[in-house]
Amino acid sequence: MNKRIVVALGGNAILTEDPTAEGQQEALRFTCEKLVGLIKQDYQLIISHGNGPQVGNLLLQQLAADSEKNPALPLDTLVAMTQGSIGYWIQNTLKKALTSININKHVASVITQVVVDENDPAFSEPSKPVGPFFTEEEASRASIETGDVYVEDSGRGYRKVVASPKPISIVEYPVIKQMIDNDIVTISAGGGGIPVIETEHGYQGVEAVIDKDFASAKLAELVEADYLLILTGVDNVYVNFNQPNQEKLEEVTVTQLKQWIDEEQFAKGSMLPKVEAAINFVENRPGAKAVITSLENVNNFFEGGSATVVSND
């Protein structure tokens, strides 16, 4: 059986300086050309992606048009909308790239719900900023009116924060796995997935944002992937980053990474969640590996080059 790779694309791999639909699709052409290289090597590809910039822009549009006759939609619905739009762009762009080199494969997107625990501590300590900036007075008034939590953000004003709970399962994973078994390139768990809780009447969306790397790790575990490939802006993870004793990490174990986490070697807002997601995957999928590297370095790594490779002890 061909090796399975879950590839986690960042939202910024899609949105560059040009926020138009055309600009984002142009960015994806480069991305898909790199991913085609893995398909040419006979890997089974499962693509997940971020949506931070896109869902933020959509939220601004919703708030700008909010009225009694045209009310703004809730956050879980906005995640679903960006899953659909980004999935549409990726599947069409990737299909064109495959056709250009005479590879005939189906590519399809799955609107994906990710189950979270309604008792997750994240719901009592919301921390993920979403939406526009407000003055302190505006934020205070909005908080009284809606009960939402607003925090000061890097001296730029106040922003609403929502929970970022950990994923515990993926509703559609059996369908996704069937598609993979039938050699269909799948796009799923976009934007970390639509956060839902399980109730006696079915699944219910909640206002939250799931980290896309944690969701990708859960997806990779459930579809029995051989690799979780987390793409970022650098070819390798480093310790003592930007210091004279900076060290590039290549082959590392879970134990080593946990020690470096205790030493606060990885920035909370950037590399730490990627490292933690990599640990979660390899601990729950014995024998598999997580790889953290850049999009530009992907094919070089799978042809014998360097990247940060995480394995269990």
Q: What is the distance between the alpha carbons of residues 246 and 244, in angstroms, rounded to a whole number? A: 6
Q: What is the distance between the alpha carbons of residues 112 and 293, in angstroms, rounded to a whole number? A: 25
Q: Which two tokens stand for residue 193?
A: 């997935």
Catalytic residue among 10, 11, 190, 193: 11
Catalytic residue among 274, 280, 289, 297: 274
Catalytic residue among 95, 160, 212, 289: 212
Q: Are 52 and 186 in contact (CB under 8 A)?
A: no
245 is catalytic: no
Q: Which two tokens stand for residue 55?
A: 């869902």
Give me the DSSP letters along 48-68: EE--HHHHHHHHHHHHHT--S
297 is catalytic: no
Pairing of strands 227-232, 4-9: parallel
212 is catalytic: yes
236 is catalytic: no
Catalytic residue among 34, 95, 128, 289: 128
Residue with tokens 């080199």: 101
12 is catalytic: yes
**Measured over all CA atoms, what is the biggest interatomic distance in the chain, rounded to whole angstroms?**
60
Catalytic residue among 12, 96, 119, 305: 12
Q: What is the distance between the alpha carbons of residues 220 and 179, in angstroms, rounded to a whole number? A: 14
Q: State the first-to-last Cα distance of the chain, in angstroms, to the nearest integer.
A: 25
Catalytic site positions = 11-12, 128, 212, 274
